[in-house]
Amino acid sequence: MSRVPPILLASNSPRRKELMGWISLDFSVRAVDIDEMVLPAEDPKEYVARLSRSKAEASAKENPWRLILGADTTVADGNEILGKPLDRIDARRMLSQLRGRVHWVHTALTLIDGTNGRRVSELCSTPVEMRDYSDAEIETYLDTGDPMDKAGAYAIQHAGFHPVVNMAGCFASVIGLPLCHLVRGLRKLGYDGLDTVPVTCQQNLRYDCPVTQQILNGQ
């Protein structure tokens, strides 16, 4: 086992950048452009897994880097993928569709080791129960502009809207990067020195995660 080398994060997400900044790993950010259209008959898990691989692979072609990380997150209502809203009307539709119900957030990540070509992919799927917020609350949230760059048109961590009433899975994954899955993937590639990551994640999120050990144990 060896220490984690500098990571190139192939993402322009400020939320992933923030999460990576919590865990004391050396990293840089360089987004890549890929086609994010959903393929015919592609389900949400297949979709995010493919995009995470595509981001990592595109970055690996462009950058001679030791370790590359690609990730993608989507919100799914059944098999319907709710991406970033096209406009305010689309964001309103998504928020109205999700309220008072349980949906799933899927985040996939792919690591590519540039020294030997080895790669690891991980997928985290989390059920999320939304509260029964009002139409007026939706409009107030839309006025902030926050929904427009978010899959499903919401941020779980938004203090003003606080849309989620119950969530018993990986909080970090819903934000955009499941850090315990990142640890698991890095360990598969032969890296160590990651024992503090789960504790740091929970401290920053102020969340007592019920699935940390299951994830780290490979479940």
pLDDT in tens, 108-157: 999 999 888 899 999 999 999 999 999 999 999 999 999 999 999 999 98
Q: Left, alpha or beta for 78 (phi > 0: left; psi -120 to 50: alpha)?
A: left
CA distances from 171 to 49, 180, 183, 199, 212 (A): 19, 11, 15, 13, 10
HSE (side-chain half, CA atoms, 13 Å) at 111: 26
Is the pLDDT at 1 greater than 80, yes or no?
A: no
pLDDT computed for residue 150 by the predictor = 92
Domain parsing of the chain, residue ranges:
2-216
Q: What's the confidence (pLDDT) of residue 170?
A: 96
Instruction: Give the confidence band of 24 by pLDDT, cuts at 50, 70, 90.
Output: confident
Q: For the chain, how big is the Rg over CA atoms in Å?
A: 17
The CATH code of the domain at 2-216 is 3.90.950.10
Question: Among the options 72, 90, 113, 146, which is catalytic?
Answer: 72
Q: Using one digit for the tens of pLDDT, what is the confidence trace for 46-104?
A: 999 999 999 999 999 988 888 999 999 999 999 999 999 999 999 999 999 999 999 99
195 given a catalytic annotation = no
Are residues 107 and 176 in contact, defined by beta-carbon separation less than 8 angstroms? yes
Amino acid at 208: D
Number of neighbours of residue 139 by Cβ within 10 angstroms: 12
Exposed / middle / buried, residue 137 (Cβ in 10 Å: 0-12, 13-18, 19+)? middle
